[in-house]
Amino acid sequence: MSKDFFLKRYWKMLTTPAGKISMGVILAFGFVAGIIFWGGFNTGMEKTNTEEFCISCHEMEDNVFEEYKATIHYNNRSGVRAVCSDCHVPKEWTPKLVRKIQASKELWGKMTGKIDTHEKFVAHRREMAEREWARMKANDSQECRNCHNFDYMDFSEQSARAMESHTKAFLGTDKMLPTGETCIDCHKGIAHELPNMHGIEGW
């Protein structure tokens, strides 16, 4: 047996039933290891959701983060904030995992220096913005609605114009069905500068 190739030896060990260890020990070990790996995985993924992690790349810190600092989601009267991941990463586990896997493309961009200067960033702004608009349109602006819940909006507290638009979009009137527009259809560029908006619907 000792003459076998080492991989074969390990394979035999893994496929042979455990002779000396009790079922309880195996279960307990599996349980603890499960907690450590699963918890560790989620904690690690949550770490990549922090603002510190996002702006550890200068592409984020010098461009989008600077622009965001002047907006209401960073600085406002009540001090409630929405950080990068609140808007750009879904909260539910599966969509979050999908988004994180897609984000590996951004690592490639980082390595190849796709937007490593402000000029390059501005040149690619429209393309990046359109991708994000499409994502938010597709999930009915889920990340906006995580905080701005339509069901609890008091339209009477809104300006007449906002009330009218929100009614048309979400509720419809006697004469028309709801248009089905979602937050991002009107509220673009609320946390970052807009790209050239030529040809964008509504502009």
Partner 1 sequence: MTDQEGGDTAMSQPMTLRNRLSLNNIRWVKAVSKGVMTLLVSTMVSMTAVAETGGIDSLRTIDLSVEPPAEAMKKVLESDTTFHRDFIEQPPLIPHDIRGYTVNKDVNTCLQCHSWKNASKWGATRISVTHFYDREGKQRADVAPNRYFCLQCHVPQADTAPLQKNNFEPVDSLK
By the criterion CB under 8 A, which residues form the site for partner 1? 70-72, 159-161, 164-165, 189-190, 193-197, 202-203
Tokens of 147: 């905080």
Q: How far is the CB of 108 from partner 1 (least distance, A)?
A: 27
Say if CB 116 and CB 126 are below 8 A apart: no
Instruction: Give the nearer residue to partner 1 in terms of CB position, either 147 or 197.
Output: 197
Locate tokens 């089905």: which residue? 180
Instruction: Give the nearer residue to partner 1 in terms of CB position, either 4 or 164.
Output: 164
Amino acid occupying residue 94: T
d(CA 88, CA 99): 9
Q: How far is the CB of 74 from partner 1 (least distance, A)?
A: 11
- Long-range contacts made by residues 188-193, C-beta under 8 angstroms, separation at least 24? 188/129, 188/133, 189/129, 190/71, 190/72, 190/73, 191/67, 191/68, 191/71, 191/73, 191/74, 191/82, 191/87, 192/64, 192/67, 192/68, 192/71, 192/129, 193/67, 193/125
Q: How far is the CB of 7 from partner 1 (least distance, A)?
A: 60
Is residue 180 exposed (0-12), middle (13-18) or buried (19+ Cβ within 10 Å)? exposed
Instruction: Give the nearer residue to partner 1 in terms of CB position, either 56 or 173.
Output: 173
Q: How far is the CB of 164 from partner 1 (least distance, A)?
A: 8
Instruction: Give the nearer residue to partner 1 in terms of CB position, either 90 or 195.
Output: 195
Q: How far is the CB of 186 from partner 1 (least distance, A)?
A: 9
Instruction: Give the nearer residue to partner 1 in terms of CB position, either 52 or 201.
Output: 201
